[in-house]
């Protein structure tokens, strides 16, 4: 599987001379994970309504998708909404904007032209039906694509991901399908939400906070972590390149 989508990626055209130069000379990560933080502080600083903030925040996922194609990164995983989103006083507004996001993604021709598989990690199916239906639609429509992979973590909690994996293994033990002594790290990996994907090479944290909030808790043990300090809404291509360069320097040190 890995070889199939890597070979497809090498055939894709690159869109800017700067990226061409960068890719031609230097190694790029295969899997980039990033958070979408700093929205509330941005809203206060710029006197922007919560409704507009979430619209801007979600709309920028289309920019991320373009970046993935242009930089030829096979896998990108974005932390969109945490597992406590239902507790937000703005929950209804957030869901409205989430519905808009997935309707826009379904109409984004670049997803279909570039065979981008959209996956949603987390308990998104526990959200209101008006959000669940468009999510299911884009997942189904891109199910067989394998040139690029864009994962969106929605209603996601890293600890719950591991707990859910343990529950699955527990049920299999109870049913006599596996022996308890056969459980190892690989068994856990095979049953977490991101079981299909390689662990991230780098995690990019946007926003002012210096924590990852349990983002891909199992998979990021050995990932390079880059704290941008910029809010997601101000984060741009140049910032992304700086993060990748930081990852590259880290690899050189440990080589």
8 is a domain residue: no
91 is a domain residue: yes
206 is a domain residue: yes
The verdict on 236 and 163 lying in the same domain is: no
Return the ∠ at Cα 245 (arms to 244 and 250), rounded to 5°: 95
- Using pLDDT thresholds of 50, 70 and 90, give the confidence band for residue 16: very low
Count of domains observed in the chain: 2
The C-alpha atoms of residue 76 and residue 192 are separated, in whole angstroms, by 17
pLDDT number for residue 24: 52
pLDDT tops 60 at residue 71: yes
pLDDT number for residue 72: 97
165 is a domain residue: yes
44 is a domain residue: yes
The verdict on 146 and 166 lying in the same domain is: no
What's the average model confidence in pLDDT over 45-57?
94
The verdict on 220 and 188 lying in the same domain is: no
> Domain range spanning residue 46?
28-156+200-249
Average pLDDT, the chain: 91
11 is a domain residue: no
168 is a domain residue: yes
Cβ atoms of residues 124 and 158 within 8 Å: no
């Amino acid at each position: 599987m890995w070889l199939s989508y890597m070979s497809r990626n090498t055939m894709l055209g690159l869109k800017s001379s700067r990226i061409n130069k960068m890719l031609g000379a230097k190694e790029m990560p295969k899997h980039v994970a990033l958070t979408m933080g700093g929205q509330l502080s941005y809203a206060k600083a710029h006197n922007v309504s919560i409704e507009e903030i979430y619209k801007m925040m979600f709309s920028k996922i289309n920019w991320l998708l373009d970046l993935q194609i242009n930089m030829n990164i096979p896998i990108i995983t974005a932390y969109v909404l945490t597992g406590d989103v239902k507790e937000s006083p703005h929950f209804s507004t957030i869901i409205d904007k989430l519905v808009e996001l997935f309707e826009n993604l379904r109409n984004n021709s670049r997803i279909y032209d570039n065979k981008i598989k959209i996956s949603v990690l987390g308990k998104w199916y526990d959200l209101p039906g008006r959000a669940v239906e468009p999510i299911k639609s884009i997942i189904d429509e891109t199910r067989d694509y394998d040139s690029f992979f864009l994962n969106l973590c929605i209603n996601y909690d890293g600890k719950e991901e591991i707990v859910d994996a343990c529950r699955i293994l527990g049920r299999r033990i109870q049913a006599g399908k596996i022996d308890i002594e056969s459980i190892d790290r690989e068994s856990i990996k095979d049953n977490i939400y991101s079981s299909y994907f390689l662990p991230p090479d780098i995690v990019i944290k946007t926003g002012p906070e210096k924590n990852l909030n349990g983002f891909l808790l199992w998979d990021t043990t050995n990932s390079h972590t880059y704290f941008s300090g910029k809010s997601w809404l101000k984060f741009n291509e140049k910032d992304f390149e700086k993060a990748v360069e930081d990852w590259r320097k880290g690899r050189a040190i440990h080589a």
